[in-house]
């Protein structure tokens, strides 16, 4: 991929693997790493309390405000989990490329990725459609990082 934007958006159905690879990618490219979920948690301080005390509408407004700031990051590798991406797609429109790290369904964690396993075909299809690039990976090892860099047109 020749035309990289100022930032790269990483999507995946497994948060642990995606965060690890996104961090490794940022390190290799000399870019900043950011996790959308961690930024929202930091900005909201106690997301669960805000949701309980202030309600879903207020929570979503605050979440969007945090993500809008994140969408302005430059020279960054940004990992966004499925729910945050799907619920806030317009915020991430200007970040490219959007890279979907595709794991085989059997590689998803039965405990942590239960919903993604149940809705795998739907979620997988949607992320492929919304991404500029899909890279099939098998985990968070260095070989997968090299594969991502190769697909982006960069070398380790």
CA 83, 126, 66, 24: dihedral to nearest 10 degrees?
Answer: 90
Stated pTM of the model:
0.87
Residue 146, pLDDT > 80, answer: yes
* Closest of 18, 6, 7 to residue 127, by C-alpha: 18
112-129: pLDDT as tens digits = 888 888 999 999 999 999
Mean pLDDT across the chain, nearest whole number? 87
30-49: pLDDT as tens digits = 999 999 999 888 877 777 77
47-104: pLDDT as tens digits = 777 777 777 787 788 888 888 888 888 899 999 999 999 999 999 988 889 999 999 9
Could you tell me the fold of the domain covering 7-37+75-152? Rossmann fold (3.40.50)
CB-based contact 101:23 (threshold 8 Å): no
- Of 140 and 91, the structure prediction assigns the larger pLDDT to 91
> Which SS3 state, helix, strand or coil, does residue 45 take?
coil
Residue 132, pLDDT > 80, answer: yes
Give residue 77's pLDDT. 96
* Neighbour-count burial of 117, counting CB atoms closer than 10 A to its CB (0-12 exposed, 13-18 middle, 19+ buried): middle
């Amino acid at each position: 991929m020749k035309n990289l934007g100022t930032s790269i958006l990483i999507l995946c159905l497994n948060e642990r693997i995606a965060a690890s690879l996104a961090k490794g990618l940022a390190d290799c490219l000399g870019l900043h790493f950011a996790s959308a979920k961690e930024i929202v948690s930091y900005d909201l301080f106690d997301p669960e309390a805000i949701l309980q005390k202030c309600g879903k509408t207020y929570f979503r407004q605050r979440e969007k405000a945090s993500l809008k700031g994140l969408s302005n990051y430059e020279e960054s590798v940004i990992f966004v989990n499925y729910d945050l991406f799907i619920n806030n797609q317009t915020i991430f429109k200007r970040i490219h490329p959007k890279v979907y790290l595709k794991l085989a369904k059997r590689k998803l964690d039965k405990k942590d990725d239960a919903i993604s396993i149940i809705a795998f075909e739907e979620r997988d299809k949607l992320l492929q459609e919304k991404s500029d690039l899909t890279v099939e990976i098998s985990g968070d090892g260095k070989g997968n990082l090299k594969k991502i860099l190769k697909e982006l047109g960069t070398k380790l």
